[in-house]
Amino acid sequence: MKIGVLISGRGSNLQALIDAAQVRGFPAEIALVISNIPGVYGIERAERAGIPTRVVDHKSFAGKAPFEDALHDELTTAGVELVCLAGFMRLLTEGFVSRWPDKIVNIHPSLLPSFKGLHTHERALEAGVRFGGCTVHFVRPAMDDGPIIVQAAVPILTNDTVDALTARVLAEEHRIYPLAVKLIAQGRTRVDGERVTIADAEAPAAALVNPQG
């Protein structure tokens, strides 16, 4: 399966996908990386891996529709079948999302549906919750909304800091994003309404992903 990765920054999740795709037998390849911000480190990571890159700068378009048309054109020209948002900081409109039904995934640094939006770890610490985590989900037009594919939880420790929690969650992000992409590329995810079921989940994955369907 050809995937396109949309980024806006340092691209550590992109790197996790690059590394996974380089392992023999991984069922997806990265066909294109697009950043909406010029000069970000994620672009350098892609170039170093020999992956085609584009900058589609939202500021150089008259509005959201032409920006999204440009994204769509780049992705379809590259033969992309699955769009992976990896720290992509623009909210995609219904118009774009409906052109990629259940074909866009996002990673978010919280246990959704808790803590949508920004500053998730600060807010988790302030709320006094006992677990943080991350979620890979299919994208719906509302921010950080859509059927959940994989989640991973981490404990919140006594005297935890935002930096420590961020690092603990990020390590899990780098593990579950490639896992979710693999499950999709293997054709093992099915979206029923707002829930995802996973066919033939292996024992280790079964602890992380939704029940078998």
Site for ligand GRF (CB under 6 A): which residue of 3, 5, 6, 13?
13
Kindly provide the b/e burial profile for residues 69-93, where b requires at least 16 CB atoms within 10 angstroms of the residue's own CB: ebbbebbeebebbbbbbbbbebebe
If the CB atoms of residues 9 and 147 are measured against ligand GRF, the closer one turns out to be 9
> What is the closest distance, in whole angstroms, from the C-beta atom of residue 80 to ligand GRF in the complex?
18
Residue 137 contacts ligand GRF per CB under 6 A: no
Residue 114 contacts ligand GRF per CB under 6 A: no
Residue 121 contacts ligand GRF per CB under 6 A: no
Distance separating alpha carbons of residues 197 and 213, to the nearest angstrom: 5
User: Under rule CB under 6 A, how many of the chain's residues touch ligand GRF?
Assistant: 12
Residue 87 contacts ligand GRF per CB under 6 A: yes
Distance separating alpha carbons of residues 56 and 97, to the nearest angstrom: 17
C-alpha distances out from residue 145 to 7, 92, 109, 136, 201, Å: 18, 12, 13, 10, 24
Element (H, E) at 86: none
Site for ligand GRF (CB under 6 A): which residue of 32, 92, 96, 173?
173
C-alpha distances out from residue 29 to 48, 82, 94, 208, Å: 15, 10, 27, 23
Residues in the chain: 213
Catalytic position from the list 72, 108, 121, 174? 108
Is 58 an annotated catalytic residue? no
Region of 9-17, 26-34, 45-53, 124-132 interacting with ligand GRF (CB under 6 A) = 9-17
> What is the closest distance, in whole angstroms, from the C-beta atom of residue 192 to ligand GRF in the complex?
25
Distance separating alpha carbons of residues 185 and 82, to the nearest angstrom: 9
Residue 107 contacts ligand GRF per CB under 6 A: yes
Distance separating alpha carbons of residues 102 and 140, to the nearest angstrom: 8
Site for ligand GRF (CB under 6 A): which residue of 3, 4, 5, 11?
11
List of residues contacting ligand GRF (CB under 6 A): 9-13, 86-87, 107-109, 170, 173
Residues with catalytic annotation? 108
